[in-house]
Structure 1
Amino acid sequence: MYYLVLFITLLSFLPIFFILKKIRSTTRLPPGSLGIPIIGQSLSFLRAMKANTAGKWCEDRVKKYGPISKLTLFGTPTVFIHGQAANKFVFTNDTLNSQQPKSFRTLFGKRNLLELSGKDHKHVRGALMAFLKPEVLKQYVGKMDGEVRKHFEMHWQGKETVTVLPLMKTLTFNILWSLLFNLEHGARRKKFAMLFEQMVQGLWSIPINLPFTRFNRSIQATSRIQNIIMDVIQEKRSRKQEAYPHKDLIATLVSLRGDDNTILLSDQEIVDNVRTVMVAGHETSAGLLTLCIRHLANDPVVYAAILKEQQEIATSKTSEEPLTWDDLAKMKYTWRAALEILRIVPPIFGAFRRTLKDTEFGGYLIPKGWQVFWAANMTHMNDSIFSEPSKFDPSRFENQASIPPYCYVAFGAGPRICPGYEFTRIEILVTMHYLVTQYTWKLCCKDDNLSRDPMVIPTQGLPIQIEQKNRL
């Protein structure tokens, strides 16, 4: 009887125990407000992105709530964190999954590299690196050289003014179409390009799928893009790929086999990751090239240094001779200048991870299923990490080992460093070579302010007045 009374008494205290536990858990949440359900702070954040004041938006949160705070972004409870320790936590912690906002997941699929973690992430990353590793990409420098020359001949030669951003998007899209699909320009490429623009516009949008919304248009475009990529995959699978396993990205992924000769990636995995590589290689590279042109128009010292480096390479070759891998290795200052632009104005402002279980950071609880949001500029513009952070100084990257780990995160860091780093480097250096050796330019708009949607862009697309030095 005694034990029965004791048991009943203990049971009566269980509800109180769980209530107290819930209260303690709630008080351990970071400070801040989740705001209106689903919407939360999404609208104010998107406005700040549009006005290119998202850095200040984050700084204001830090001043109000401290280095860790909770909010709601894109329909999901979110914890914003920043700093070197936060970056390391984001890029290395196994309790976090790279789950992007619902808008991103819907458009790119569940098996894209940015969504995966653990063994799945290693599996897909390893497949992509079969094409994106330097020893493979060096084979394609000449092909990229040809695309860049063709671009300047078609879109720049003989012109007095051009608008940079749409042209850089055209260039990077054509490079990706050539190297990822290995298909000729034509009606299919033109249709894909139009759909691709519609898809990208919905990446960071409130995930409400109603007619005539940006998100709805992006979903429709994504579905049609998937059909095109599936058709290309079937074309590649119907051919013998063994003779040229590195002909293009899709052919490479289609030809990959496991130890037991089974297909390494499903068709859906290939579709999801081709879309991801397309966005990563198109939007960010086009944005970086546009920012390079914008900066050099206002910085004659850096322009002169890049021009000197590139002219030395140009004079060592005939005008018909394409650039080589060895030529790119000589473009050290040009690449340091590009890295510095990425430090000051990273094309991707920040990214999201999601907790796989209740997780602690900085003494606070981040509940299972919540998003973790980080922003690159919070360490890039920290004067305790980079002295005079607002000053443009490519010499910061002469010795990259001197930069503290997890502080420069333009390409991610640690096991999450961007697999397309070398692809981007080749793309930027080849383009900058022909740009500075063949053209001079100056800005011809009063408003060269930047916006984010979600990638950084000049509000007017950066119109410039150009003068050709000599014929390509």
Structure 2
Amino acid sequence: MDPAVAFSLPALVVLTLSFVILLSYLIRRISSTDAKTPPGSSGWPIVGENVHLGILGPPKFIKKRMEKFSPYVFKTSLLGEKMAFFCGPQGNKFVFTNENKLLTSWWPKSVTKVLLFTEVIDENQKVVAPLLANSVHDILKPEALKQYVSTMDSMARHHMETDWAPYDEVKVHPLSQKYTFSLSCKLFMDEDDNDKVAKVLKNFNIVTNGMISLPLDFPGTAYNQAIKGGKVLRDGLLKIIATRRKELIENKETTRQDVLSNMLLVTNEDGKLMSEKEISNNIIGLLVASYETSSVAITFILKHLAENPHIYDQVRKEQMEIAESKQPGELLSWEDVEKMKYSWNVARESLRLAPPGQGAFREALTDFKYAGFTIPKGWKIFWNVNTTHNDPKYFPNPEKFNPSRFEGSGPAPYSFVPFGGGPRMCPGKEYARLEILIFMHNFVNNFKLEKLNPKEKIVYRSTPVPAEGLPVRLNPNAKN
């Protein structure tokens, strides 16, 4: 055989295979390009639309893009990821009913890296909520929460006496943060050392202010500060956990009934105890679920009560009837909280106008179609409250504070979603309801309030907050 021919045959095979591979690649690229993904903008290279979101705030950012691109779904680029924003009740319903089918839970690495010991997270656990052990979920169920009503009421009374009553003027948001965080530390860790709680709270705020930000780890950035704060937070929790484990070993019995003590005794399917890092992740998950959103909710409820004196009067009337039915010094019960119907409608209307949680992330498990568009596998999804809570189609005169919206059958399905929905509905919903209503009871029975800056702006961090912390003047109510 001619040596040239002998050489050309394998070369021809290689060239043919290379051509086939290249052709297959190009076909896949063309198919991918032809796929009708949602309209939208990717923003600037690397930065994406993070800056636009930060400047406008989620409500305006989303509204502008719905008007420009699509009222059903639009694409953007945030936190270094291609992302589709699902809009309206239909979008909410699609996300809530396709959990673990087309979609799975997802959070940015910036969140998990800052908050958690990532080395002990199972690969299938991509968000804080799934980290919570069954024993942790149990405390958030109504039947378990009943035993904590009196503790919540006692702490709320003490909080009013020490942090509100001595002053004529206060800032609502930092005081609400102090109250909800102290309550979480007491119920979850039986920790009521004020200095220790204050230190943990300081680092927790640093973390939450920087975890939903562009993950640029340079000195001076919010993300860099969050990483440092997260390490201090986790180290502090490990010390608390180690000390409690030592106490349990030495006493050889359960001396406390808080979540931490229960977790120290819980075994997995293999009969092994949870590690201290796993317990730390669970406690942080609880703090995330119970503290920040509740403090923001309380802040805006007081803001709306200050702005609507006639509604404040109705809330106070309801709460005074409950107070007058009690013996002097008698604490609230579960049955008392169940009577706070109007107060809860007021709270829900506040959650509609100023939802603490803006939504949540998901990840596409496979390519799928939605509203005539293709969502490619691996794309990140964001469902959000802003596309329905302020829509006049579902809430007429949406800018008006009107608790009567929640009377009778209430809003249309999937239009009011401050706690999410479906299998991943916020497990702390009932806890938040108790915490909020017990606070409202104690506040309106003690004070009226007046906003000191009627034009105070709202800024967006990981949650919306009044720019100045909502400074108010307190006027003590006469004791009946």
Return the TM-score normalized by structure 1: 0.89
Partner of residue 60 from structure 1, selected from 59, 64, 82: 64
Task: State the alpha-carbon separation in 2 of the partners of residues 447 and 34 from structure 1.
Answer: 34
Q: Does 1:144 align with 2:152?
A: yes
Code of the aligned partner of 1:35: G
Code of the aligned partner of 1:467: N
The answer (yes or no) to whether the contact 1:130–1:252 under 8 Å persists in 2 is no
Q: Does 1:255 align with 2:265?
A: yes
The equivalent of 2:97 in structure 1 is 92
Task: State the alpha-carbon separation in 1 of the partners of residues 148 and 459 from structure 2.
Answer: 33
Task: State the alpha-carbon separation in 1 of the partners of residues 342 and 295 from structure 2.
Answer: 20
Q: Does 1:406 align with 2:410?
A: no
- Quick check: 415-424 or 376-385, which moved more? 376-385
The equivalent of 1:185 in structure 2 is 193
Cα offset, 1:433, TM superposition: 0.5
State the SS of the aligned residue for 2:445: helix
Cα offset, 1:256, TM superposition: 2.5
Larger C-alpha radius of gyration, 1 or 2?
A: 2
Rate the CA distance shift 1:101–1:261 in 2: closer, same or farther, 3 A: closer
The equivalent of 2:77 in structure 1 is 72
Deviations 1:249-304 (A, max 9, x none): 222222223466443x4433322232132133221111111111111112122112
The answer (yes or no) to whether the contact 1:230–1:271 under 8 Å persists in 2 is yes
The equivalent of 2:298 in structure 1 is 289
The answer (yes or no) to whether the contact 2:107–2:126 under 8 Å persists in 1 is no
Code of the aligned partner of 2:378: G
Identity %, equivalent residues? 34
Code of the aligned partner of 2:41: S
The equivalent of 2:356 in structure 1 is 347
Q: Does 1:220 align with 2:228?
A: yes
Code of the aligned partner of 1:410: P
Q: Does 1:38 align with 2:42?
A: no
Task: State the alpha-carbon separation in 1 of the partners of residues 143 and 261 from structure 2.
Answer: 17
Cα offset, 1:360, TM superposition: 3.2
Task: State the alpha-carbon separation in 2 of the partners of residues 368 and 187 from structure 1.
Answer: 48
Task: State the alpha-carbon separation in 2 of the partners of residues 288 and 276 from structure 1.
Answer: 19
The answer (yes or no) to whether the contact 1:245–1:252 under 8 Å persists in 2 is no
Rate the CA distance shift 1:242–1:280 in 2: closer, same or farther, 3 A: farther
Q: Does 1:385 align with 2:394?
A: yes
The answer (yes or no) to whether the contact 1:71–1:77 under 8 Å persists in 2 is yes
Matched ranges for 1:156-171 at <5 A? 156-171=164-179
Task: State the alpha-carbon separation in 2 of the partners of residues 286 and 122 from structure 1.
Answer: 23
Code of the aligned partner of 2:385: A
Deviations 1:182-223 (A, max 9, x none): 023243223212211211111211101112221111111111
Code of the aligned partner of 2:22: P
The answer (yes or no) to whether the contact 1:112–1:273 under 8 Å persists in 2 is no
Aligned residues: 461
The equivalent of 1:441 in structure 2 is 449
Rate the CA distance shift 1:232–1:360 in 2: closer, same or farther, 3 A: farther
Code of the aligned partner of 1:391: K
The equivalent of 1:466 in structure 2 is 474
Cα offset, 1:7, TM superposition: 13
The equivalent of 2:8 in structure 1 is none
State the SS of the aligned residue for 1:201: helix
Task: State the alpha-carbon separation in 1 of the partners of residues 475 and 393 from structure 2.
Answer: 42
State the SS of the aligned residue for 1:374: strand
Rate the CA distance shift 1:124–1:454 in 2: closer, same or farther, 3 A: closer
Cα offset, 1:378, TM superposition: 0.5
Rate the CA distance shift 1:428–1:32 in 2: closer, same or farther, 3 A: same
Code of the aligned partner of 1:330: K
Partner of residue 212 from structure 2, selected from 204, 215, 221: 204
Gaps of 5+ in 2: 1-11
Matched ranges for 1:313-328 at <5 A? 313-328=322-337
Task: State the alpha-carbon separation in 2 of the partners of residues 406 and 102 from structure 1.
Answer: 29
Cα offset, 1:159, TM superposition: 1.6
Task: State the alpha-carbon separation in 2 of the partners of residues 195 and 19 from structure 1.
Answer: 50
Code of the aligned partner of 2:264: V
Partner of residue 431 from structure 1, selected from 434, 439, 444: 439
State the SS of the aligned residue for 2:325: coil
Rate the CA distance shift 1:188–1:123 in 2: closer, same or farther, 3 A: closer
The answer (yes or no) to whether the contact 2:129–2:285 under 8 Å persists in 1 is no
C-alpha RMSD of matched pairs (Å)? 2.8
Q: Does 1:83 align with 2:104?
A: no
Code of the aligned partner of 1:24: S
The answer (yes or no) to whether the contact 2:131–2:285 under 8 Å persists in 1 is no
State the SS of the aligned residue for 2:83: strand
State the SS of the aligned residue for 2:76: strand
The equivalent of 2:461 in structure 1 is 453
Task: State the alpha-carbon separation in 2 of the partners of residues 190 and 275 from structure 1.
Answer: 16
State the SS of the aligned residue for 2:336: helix
Cα offset, 1:439, TM superposition: 0.8
The equivalent of 1:126 in structure 2 is 134
The answer (yes or no) to whether the contact 2:133–2:282 under 8 Å persists in 1 is no
Rate the CA distance shift 1:101–1:121 in 2: closer, same or farther, 3 A: closer
The equivalent of 1:15 in structure 2 is 22
The equivalent of 1:194 in structure 2 is 202
The answer (yes or no) to whether the contact 1:447–1:459 under 8 Å persists in 2 is no
Code of the aligned partner of 1:395: S
Q: Does 1:373 align with 2:382?
A: yes
The equivalent of 1:360 in structure 2 is 369
Task: State the alpha-carbon separation in 2 of the partners of residues 207 and 128 from structure 1.
Answer: 30
- Quick check: 200-209 or 363-372, which moved more? 363-372
The equivalent of 2:6 in structure 1 is none
The equivalent of 2:318 in structure 1 is 309
Task: State the alpha-carbon separation in 1 of the partners of residues 413 and 279 from structure 2.
Answer: 32
Code of the aligned partner of 2:62: C
Deviations 1:329-360 (A, max 9, x none): 11111011101111121112222212233343
Cα offset, 1:458, TM superposition: 1.1
Cα offset, 1:243, TM superposition: 6.1
Task: State the alpha-carbon separation in 1 of the partners of residues 373 and 336 from structure 2.
Answer: 50
Q: Does 1:419 align with 2:427?
A: yes
